[in-house]
Structure 1
Amino acid sequence: MTTTWIAAHRAAVINPHEAFHLFEPRGFSGQTIRQSLRLAGSGQALRLRFSNRYGKEPLDIGGAHLAVRTQGSGIDPTSDTPLRFSGTETTTIPVGEEITSDPVELPVSAGEELTVSLYLPGDTGLSTYSAVPYDTGHAVPGNQLSAELLHHAEELPTGHFLTGVDVLAPADTRIAVAFGDSWIEGAFTTPGTDNSFPAQLNRRLTRGWIVNQGISGNRLLTDEIGDHLLSRIDHDVLAVPGVSHVLIHIGLNDLGLPGLIAHPQPAEGPTAAQFIAGLTTLADRLHAAGLTVIGSTIGPYRGTVHEGYDTETGQTVRHQVNAWLLGTDHPFDAVIDIAAAVADPAEPDRIRPDLNGGDGLHVNDAGAKAIADAVDLSLLKL
């Protein structure tokens, strides 16, 4: 059987030097950080990806270990395996660069929880990071790469440096990339449960799998939070090995973040025409690469607790864009009506109370499941 490298985990990253932050950026010095992930697919071997894409200084890695997770910061010590980079156990990632570890000859299964430990001997500066990691990470002083449990560890609500895992899988394996904002990334779903909408949809699939390239706070047309979606296409979709389909949810932050950032002053977001033009460009570029592109309506957010986010202008644009998406003139291969899947029947501009993550802007685990259950699996012929 012919095999090739296929993405089995992804975490899209944010520039810590942005002017506006929803998530507090940070760095590390003389510490071990331990982060966990859950694989979306199976393979005969794996390799890991690390990024210093937004670092201001070279990133020294004094060691990196892979292990099977037990719980919390714990690992199975019998599974603890040093990673190598071009044959060595230490490496330096240049400014703006990314690296891939040497292959680890370890059969892995979909749903398996692994833990990655990095020893960072020097001052990293503000780290290239992801907003919503699979689960809470941990940091401790010194080199504790092989520690079975990290005692008195600092908890890390954001992810750092670790951006992906590839597995050696059959060459005909095809996957989908979930691409967009917090509704893709899984904000306000329970950490460590893999209950984002793409993850819950992934569990319905019988062939192929889905990797997540969402960034909470991301926008289609404007940088911050993260590079805007149109600028992320090459790196976060086209460069993902095995991709054949793309699932998209974007727009909430284009409509709401300008008002949130400017509050209490008014601010203007894109018009419906500008946003539709952006979505059309997005679909056209993905189609040009031969991918199947599945769009979605913009989710409801009336009454969100985030001041300045919910405006009448934004709501009007949302309705106009959604009407276009549900019509016949859009450029997507299909459109998932995410808004209808979670809307309150009594007030469709709001999230249904039992699906509300608590802030009126995000869905909880049940809301993410409602979206996943609304997807026609015939759209994902992986």
Structure 2
Amino acid sequence: MTTTWTAAHRAAAINPNENLAPFESRGFTDQTVRQSLRLAGGGEAVRIHLTNRYGTTPLDIGGAHLALRTKGSGIDPGSDTPLRFSGTPTVTIPAGEETISDPVELPVSAGEELTLSLYLPGDTGPTTFNAIPYDTGHAVPGNQLSAAVLEDPEEFATGHLLAGADVLAPAGTRIAVAFGDSWIEGAATTPGTDNSFPGQLNRRLTRGWTVNAGISGNRLLTDEIGEHLLARIDHDVLAVPGVSHVIIHIGLNDLGLPGHFAHPEPAEGPTAAEFKAGLTTLADRLHTAGLTVIGSTIGPYKGTVHDGYDTPRGQAVRAEVNAWLLGDDHPFDGIVDVAAAVADPDQPDRIRDEFNGGDGLHVNDAGAKAIADAVDVTLLDL
């Protein structure tokens, strides 16, 4: 059988040196860092992507192991495999660059949990990271790459240095990239359950799968948090092996963050015309690359607890953009009505109580499932 490398996990990166910093960045010194991931699809072998994309100095990896996860920081010792990079057990990743491990001959299935252990011998400085990893990470002093369980580890809620995993899948395997903000990444869903919208969508698919390239706080038109969506296309979509479809949710932060960060002073976000032009540019660039592009309405957020986020102007722009997306003039191949899927029927600008992640801005596990259930899977001809 002919096989090809296909993305099975992705973690979109944030620069730790951004001015807007709602998520705590950090570094490591002489520590073993252990992080887990769940594969969206399976194959005959695995390779791991590591990133120093936003590092300002070279990053020394003093060793890296890959293993099947048991629970918490635990691994199955019988599966523990040292990673190599061009045949060597250590690697230095230059500032601004990424690297891919040599293949590990480890047959894996969709839904399999793997754990990556990295020994970081020097002072990494603030690391390239992602806001909502698959699960809680663990760190302990020294080189403990092969430990079955890390004793009394430090826990951290963000993801660091791990950019993704590919599997050696049957040739012709096609996947979707879920691209956008916190409603893609899975903020307010339960860590370690794969209950983000893309994770729950995968349970509905009978062929191919979806990888998650969401960044909580991300915007369509403005950098921070993370590069804006139009700037992320090449790295986070077009460079993903196997991609044929893109599913997009974006806009909440374009509309809400200006007022939130300026509070109690007023602030203006993009106009509806500017936002529609940005979405059209996004769709056109992805279509030019030969991809199927699925848009979505902007989710509801009226009454959110975040000061200054909910403004009459932002709500008016959201209403105009959503009406355009539900009409016949938008540039997408299909639309998922995310807003309708989770809205309170009596107050459609608000998230219904059973889907509210607690702040009126994010959806919980049940809300993410409602969005996944709203997708017409015939749009995903994978």
With the length of structure 1 as denominator, give the TM-score of the two structures. Answer: 1.00
Name the SS for the 1:309 alignment partner.
coil
Aligned residues: 382
SS of 2:27's partner is coil
Q: Taking every aligned residue pair, what percent have the same amino acid on both sides?
A: 80
Alpha-carbon separation, structure 1, partners of 2:259 and 2:156: 29
Alignment of 1:70 onto 2:70: yes
Q: Tell me what 1:49 maps to.
A: 49
4+ residue segments displaced more than 2 Å: none
Provide Cα deviations, 1:40-86, integer angstroms capped at 9, x if missing partner. 00100110000000001100000000011000011111111100001
Alpha-carbon distance in structure 1 between the residues aligned to 2:260 and 2:22: 11
Shift of the alpha carbon at 1:151?
Answer: 1.3
Residue of structure 1 in register with 2:330 after alignment:
330
Three-state SS of the structure 1 residue aligned to 2:367 is helix
- Output the amino acid matched with 2:15: N
- Asked if residue 92 in structure 1 is aligned to residue 119 in structure 2, the reply is no
Aligned residue identity for 1:275:
F
1:99-136 alpha-carbon deviations (Å, 9 max, x no partner): 00000011100000000000000000100000000000
Q: Could you say which residue in structure 1 is the equivalent of 2:284?
A: 284
Unaligned runs of 5+ in 2: none
Q: In the alignment, which residue of structure 2 is the partner of 1:158?
A: 158
- Kindly state the Cα deviation for residue 240 of structure 1 after the two structures are TM-superposed: 0.3
- Paired with 2:60 and 2:106, the residues of 1 have a C-alpha distance of 26
Alignment match, 1:355: 355
1:280-335 Cα deviation digits (max 9, x unpaired): 00000000000000000000000001111111110000000000000000000001
Q: Report the residue type matching 2:286 in the other structure.
A: L
Alpha-carbon distance in 2 for matches of 1:286, 1:205: 22
1:271 maps to what in 2?
A: 271
Residue 296 of structure 1 corresponds to 296
**What letter is aligned with 1:373?**
D
CA deviation profile, 1:320-362 (whole Å, cap 9, x unmatched)? 0000000000000001000000000111000000000000000
Q: Which runs of structure 2 are paired with 1:140-155 in the superposition (5 Å)? A: 140-155=140-155
- RMSD between superposed Cα atoms in Å: 0.5
**Hey, what does 2:133 align to over in structure 1?**
133
Task: Show the 5 A alignment for 1:159-178.
Answer: 159-178=159-178
**1:1-382 mapped onto 2 (5 Å cutoff):** 1-382=1-382
Which residue identity is paired with 1:139? A
Between the aligned partners of 1:52 and 1:107, the Cα distance in structure 2 is 28
How far is 1:171 from its partner? 1.0
| Residue 201 (structure 1) shift | 0.5
Amino acid of the structure 1 residue aligned with 2:349:
D
Q: 1:266: how far off?
A: 1.1
CA–CA distance in structure 2, aligned partners of residues 6 and 234 of structure 1: 16
CA distance in 2, matches of 1:165, 1:252: 29
SS across alignment from 1:138: strand
Name the CA distance, whole Å, in 1 between partners of 2:201 and 2:108.
Answer: 20
Q: Distance in 1 between matches of 2:316 and 2:285?
A: 27
Amino acid at match of 1:363: V
Q: C-alpha separation between the residues in 1 aligned to 2:56 and 2:346?
A: 50
Q: Which amino acid aligns with 1:44?
A: E
Q: TM-score, normalised on structure 2?
A: 1.00
Deviations 1:253-277 (A, max 9, x none): 0000111111111111000000000
Q: Higher mean Cα deviation, 214-223 or 260-269? A: 260-269
Any idea what SS the aligned residue of 1:183 has? Answer: helix
C-alpha separation in 1, matches of 2:142 and 2:266: 48
Task: For residue 234 of structure 1, report the CA deviation from its aligned partner.
Answer: 0.4
CA distance in 2, matches of 1:350, 1:298: 12
**What is the rounded CA distance, in whole Å, between the counterparts of 2:304 and 2:27 in structure 1?**
31
The SS at the match of 2:275 is helix
Q: Letter of the 2:269 partner, please give it.
A: G
**1:312, 1:146 → 2: CA distance?**
55
- 1:2: how far off? 1.1
CA distance in 1, matches of 2:47, 2:287: 29
Give the letter aligned to residue 337 of structure 2. D
Shift of 1:244: 0.3
2: CA distance between counterparts of 1:13 and 1:263?
27
The code of the aligned residue for 1:156 comes to F
2:213 is paired with a residue whose SS is: strand
For residues 13-54 of structure 1, the C-alpha deviation after alignment (integer angstroms, 9 at most, x for no partner) is 000000011101111111111000000001001100000000
Task: Return the offset for 1:222.
Answer: 0.2
Q: AA paired with 1:325?
A: L
Q: How far apart, CA to CA, are the structure 1 residues paired with 2:90 and 2:242? A: 29
List runs of 5+ in structure 1 lacking aligned partners. Answer: none
One-letter amino acid of the structure 2 residue matched with residue 131 of structure 1: A
